Structure 1
Amino acid sequence: MLLTIRHDIRYRYAAPVTYSIQQFRVTPASGAAQIVRHWHVEAPGKLDATRDAYGNALHTLVLTKPHNEIHVSVAGEVETEALSDGRLFDEAGPIPLEHFTCATPLTLPDAAIRELAHRVSALDTPASLVALTERIGERVRYRNEPASAAGTAAQALASGFGDARDLAHLMLACCRARGVPARCVSGYVDADGHDVAMHAWTDVWVEHGWVSVDAAQAGFAGERHCRLAVARDYEAAAPVRGSRVGGKEEALTVHVSIDAQPDQ
């Protein structure tokens, strides 16, 4: 599948911002699941490029002159592959697997999460991971609306609804409650013409390899997914994070469009 992606991020402020720093994880990497044909990030200043501890491409933008707006434009093409049983066939990565068995504040399991995690007899095959996503879907209704975000995995389970980040965090919490390494993935997903936004799913270490599953879709991630970053939770893999001095009220507008074409 060939995914042509455009992602526009625009911040507007009620008063001038005197200093701001923004970090962007919006550049995909080529791997077993995808090949980046070309990719470009345009910003109102110099972007310093590096890689974070997880190996994700990281761009940092620092603006020191007063400004009322920041507009960042991302565009490119990625060729994706269908994944058999969600298997990535990528290396484990630079971080020890034990790191991905540790809970974070967003994925801390409570008694309800532990009970849900054990509704599947074992998490040792790709099919068992899909079964867990189905159990999650029975308890938490997916809403593709940022305002629906519950916050933590425990809050999502208690409220019964959440966005893709919440479902990914709940999947992470269940896996880690069973001692199974799991990491959060941020990226894009083609929604067959429906409203498109940033997405989140999980990689789980099973049978000596990563298996990529999307709890929001109760199935494997595949050729309609474009991977951007991985980390222990979405906060550390988020496409955009930053801070500023001044500006008062902030208005953030994000638009993502994806054109998906089958391989020729």
Structure 2
Amino acid sequence: MRAQLDHRLTYTYNAQVSLGEHRLCLRPRGQGHQRLIEHHLAVTPQPSHSHDLLAASGDAIQRVRFLGSTDELMIHASSLVETVLTTPLLDCFNGLEPPLPYPRGHLNSDLQGALEGWLPNGQHDPSAVELAQDALMGSNQQAIPFLQQLMEMIQDRVKYTQRHIGPAWPAGRTLRERVGSCRDLAMLMVECSRTVGLPARFVSGYHLADPAPESYDLHAWAEIYLPGAGWRGFDPSAGCEISDRYIVLATSSKPALTAAVSGTFSGPPGTRSELSWTIEASTDHDNSASAFKDVVHAA
């Protein structure tokens, strides 16, 4: 699938402010099952300094700095992306699907960080361990049935809802509240997968659903590392492995590091910011376009 994406964000301030350094995760992934054909980024006011960097996750990140003052920050990312269908997982395993729990010592040491728990001491949330054990018991301790069973249990125990503001919740809160956004469900799947020895990380990107919805927003899902198949995406909000209609922007063990835009500003006491954004997408599959716009407030 080939997709044209236009993502615009506008921050307005009720007073003149000085902008601090900003970190932008708006460049789609350009390797693996996704090819970046074109990408253009426009920032107003013009940054005094800009540089690209390769994040620990392998994603392309841009950092920008500013001089002077402004009452508005506008960012426009335009990308042309091509995605391909992945090889079916069973074909990757060739009958040797890894049993669970997967031995930590059998993994490449580069993956150890994707097994850490989210509690301050590095331990896993007990409620996530319990959910993972329930899914494990119903999957004959095989990786693919486990992940499918886990997604079904997440959907059964947590009601999906949209929540545009705030960080992803930890697994315990999502299970306790029994409600969560796509990023909350993604975090829950990441935590549960790690408890059985499967490296997992948080993903931010776009899901270009078919048929196209009336509005698009950023979406979040999980990537699980399966020995023999590599990193593969799973969407607990939809209850399935991702398709070629998912476009990755950024991945990380820490959801905050996948934010499309993060940064600071300083101004007079009581200065408020307001964010509005639109996401427009068209694909060669359906020749459709859709846009989303909303407004949120932050102190």
Q: TM-score, normalization: structure 2?
A: 0.79
For residues 60-112 of structure 1, the C-alpha deviation after alignment (integer angstroms, 9 at most, x for no partner) is 1212211111000011211111234469x8xxxx9811110012359974322
Query: How many angstroms apart in 2 are the aligned matches of 1:226 and 1:130?
Result: 21
For residues 23-47 of structure 1, the C-alpha deviation after alignment (integer angstroms, 9 at most, x for no partner) is 1011013222111121111112233
Query: How many angstroms apart in 2 are the aligned matches of 1:77 and 1:236?
Result: 23
Corresponding position of 1:31: 31
Structure-to-structure mapping, 1:188-207, within 5 angstroms:
188-191=206-209, 192-194=211-213, 195-207=215-227
Corresponding position of 1:182: 200
Corresponding position of 1:170: 188
Aligned-pair identity in percent equals 25
Query: How many angstroms apart in 1 are the aligned matches of 2:264 and 2:245?
Result: 32
Change in CA separation of 1:33 and 1:86 when aligned onto 2, cut-off 3 Å: farther
Within the candidate set 167, 170, 179, 1:161 is matched to 179
Query: How many angstroms apart in 1 are the aligned matches of 2:264 and 2:166?
Result: 23
2:73 counterpart of 1:70: yes
SS of 1:120 mapped into structure 2: helix
Query: How many angstroms apart in 2 are the aligned matches of 1:20 and 1:155?
Result: 32
Q: Which runs of 5+ in 2 are unaligned?
A: 93-107, 287-299
Corresponding position of 1:52: 55
2:247 counterpart of 1:244: no
Corresponding position of 2:118: 104
SS of 1:223 mapped into structure 2: coil
For the Cα contact (< 8 Å) 2:154–2:236, is it kept in 1? yes
Q: Which letter maps to 2:41?
A: V
Within the candidate set 223, 231, 244, 1:223 is matched to 244
Q: TM-score, normalization: structure 1?
A: 0.89
Decide which structure has the larger Cα Rg and report it. 2
Within the candidate set 69, 81, 94, 2:84 is matched to 81
2:276 counterpart of 1:262: no
Could you tell me how far 1:211 is from its partner in structure 2?
A: 2.1
Could you tell me how far 1:127 is from its partner in structure 2?
A: 3.5
> Number of residue pairs matched?
259
Structure-to-structure mapping, 1:94-133, within 5 angstroms:
96-104=110-118, 109-121=124-136, 124-133=142-151
Could you tell me how far 1:5 is from its partner in structure 2?
A: 0.7
Query: How many angstroms apart in 2 are the aligned matches of 1:105 and 1:187?
Result: 26
For the Cα contact (< 8 Å) 1:86–1:220, is it kept in 2? no
RMSD: 2.6
Change in CA separation of 1:124 and 1:100 when aligned onto 2, cut-off 3 Å: farther
For the Cα contact (< 8 Å) 2:202–2:220, is it kept in 1? yes
Q: Which runs of 5+ in 1 are unaligned?
A: none
